[in-house]
């Protein structure tokens, strides 16, 4: 029996949650059963090398905005599907979805799977488009029951994100001073600018701390510059560091004291699972599927109004924070492993080809 050929299409090779999920998924799926390849629409090359280093066939299409660029990308993927006998397109995030849907019309036997990776798909127009394209998809995947809305198919499958737990469990000495860590592509959704306000509030209380902001976002260069200017304006240069794109996230997590996520919206961020596996306390806004992962026993869910105050609580009573982190680590070990996530995807892919 020949292998099942799967083409994963994502928006970009940014160092983000969706891209980490795709990479870990491919590395965990049985290579004797599945032949995976990856395409990214945008020019960002950050994680491309990591895919290639693992021997995964991957390329970026350097797609610009406009009808001409869309047509060019369609033709390229269309040719790839024919030449490589692709059985399944797995569209990750919204941007690949229209392309995958139109390719389904060109190749009726092609199966299309869609994972949005977010509760907020990006506005009303995208919701309308996603709902309109439902008949051209074979299966939708979300991270929790709470994410299911009419824009998804009735038989939407719930598969929680998973992490390679072993990568985050090796002990490491903590940083000095007390380190809050933020990881994610720099964009308005992630709300990194808000952390400068928290830094000012914590500084005024005399705390010895640093907030490390990890993540790139060349497409959001203006926001990065705004954050940098705000750091200077609030005189917190010694307390907020923008580290850019990093490939040593497991080490950063293990040496930090606390993960902070002040996002406006999310799905189920892979970095929270990684932080939980690394057994560090988490402070997050209660958005997306995050409340299915974290409760008052396993972390800190707080609105932005009390977010900075909660950072102070963790700083002042770290023993209690570590107890909560231990509870979350057990939960992730039992329910959010990459192996269980890959098993669920494998069963889905195989069911579509039978």
Task: Name 213's bridge partners.
Answer: 182, 242
pLDDT score, position 44 = 82
| Tens of pLDDT, residue by residue, the chain (354 residues) | 789 999 999 999 887 778 889 999 999 999 999 999 999 999 888 889 999 999 999 999 999 889 999 999 999 999 999 999 999 999 999 999 999 999 999 999 999 999 998 888 888 999 999 999 999 999 999 988 888 999 999 999 999 888 888 888 888 899 999 999 999 989 999 999 999 999 999 999 999 999 999 998 766 789 999 999 999 999 999 999 999 988 899 999 999 999 999 999 998 888 999 999 999 999 999 998 899 999 999 999 999 999 999 999 999 999 999 999 999 999 998 889 899 999 999 999 999 997
At CB < 8 A and 24+ separation, what contacts does 293-296 make? 293/268, 293/328, 293/331, 293/336, 294/328
CA distance 22 to 28: 10
Which domains are delineated in the chain? 4-161+337-353 (3.40.50.2000), 165-335 (3.40.50.2000)
134 burial class (0-12, 13-18, 19+ CB within 10 angstroms)? middle
Give the model's pLDDT for residue 176: 95
Return phi, psi of residue 63, to 5°. Answer: -75, 130
Please report which residue ranges of the chain form alpha helices under DSSP H.
17-28, 48-53, 67-84, 96-106, 124-132, 193-204, 221-233, 249-255, 270-277, 290-293, 307-316, 318-335, 338-353
| pLDDT for res 15 | 73
Q: Find residue 10's DSSP bridge partners.
A: 40
Looking at residue 209, its pLDDT comes to 98
User: Rounded to whole angstroms, how far apart are CA atoms 344 and 354?
Assistant: 16
């Amino acid at each position: 029996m020949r292998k099942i050929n799967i083409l994963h299409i994502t928006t970009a090779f940014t160092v983000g949650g969706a891209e980490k999920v795709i990479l870990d998924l491919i590395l965990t799926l049985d290579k004797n059963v599945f032949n995976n390849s990856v395409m990214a629409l945008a020019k960002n090359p950050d994680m491309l090398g990591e895919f290639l280093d693992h021997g995964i066939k991957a390329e970026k299409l350097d797609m610009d905005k406009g009808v001409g660029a869309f047509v060019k990308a369609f033709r390229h993927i269309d040719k790839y599907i024919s030449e490589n006998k692709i059985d399944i397109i797995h569209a990750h995030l919204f941007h690949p979805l229209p392309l995958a849907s139109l390719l389904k019309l060109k190749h009726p036997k092609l199966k299309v799977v869609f994972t949005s990776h977010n509760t907020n798909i990006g506005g009303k127009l995208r919701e309308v488009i996603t709902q309109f394209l439902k008949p051209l998809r074979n299966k939708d995947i979300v991270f929790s029951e709470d994410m299911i809305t009419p824009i998804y198919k009735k038989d939407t499958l719930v598969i929680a994100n998973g992490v390679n737990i072993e990568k985050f469990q090796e002990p490491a000495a903590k940083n000095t001073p007390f380190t809050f860590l933020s990881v994610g592509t720099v964009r308005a959704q992630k709300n990194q600018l808000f952390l400068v306000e928290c830094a000012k509030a914590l500084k005024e209380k005399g705390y010895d701390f640093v907030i490390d902001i990890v993540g790139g976002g060349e497409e959001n260069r203006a926001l990065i510059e705004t954050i940098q200017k705000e750091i200077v304006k609030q005189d917190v240069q010694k307390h907020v560091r923008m580290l850019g794109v990093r490939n040593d996230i497991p080490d950063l997590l293990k040496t930090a004291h606390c993960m902070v996520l002040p996002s406006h919206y999310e799905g189920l961020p892979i970095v929270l699972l990684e932080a939980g596996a690394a057994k560090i306390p988490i402070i997050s806004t209660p958005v997306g599927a995050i409340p299915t992962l974290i409760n008052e026993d396993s972390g800190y869910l707080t609105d932005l109004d009390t977010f900075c105050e909660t950072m102070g609580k963790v700083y002042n009573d770290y023993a209690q924070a570590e107890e909560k982190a231990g509870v979350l680590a057990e939960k992730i070990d039992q329910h959010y492993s990459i192996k269980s996530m890959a098993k669920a995807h494998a069963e889905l892919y195989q069911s579509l080809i039978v």
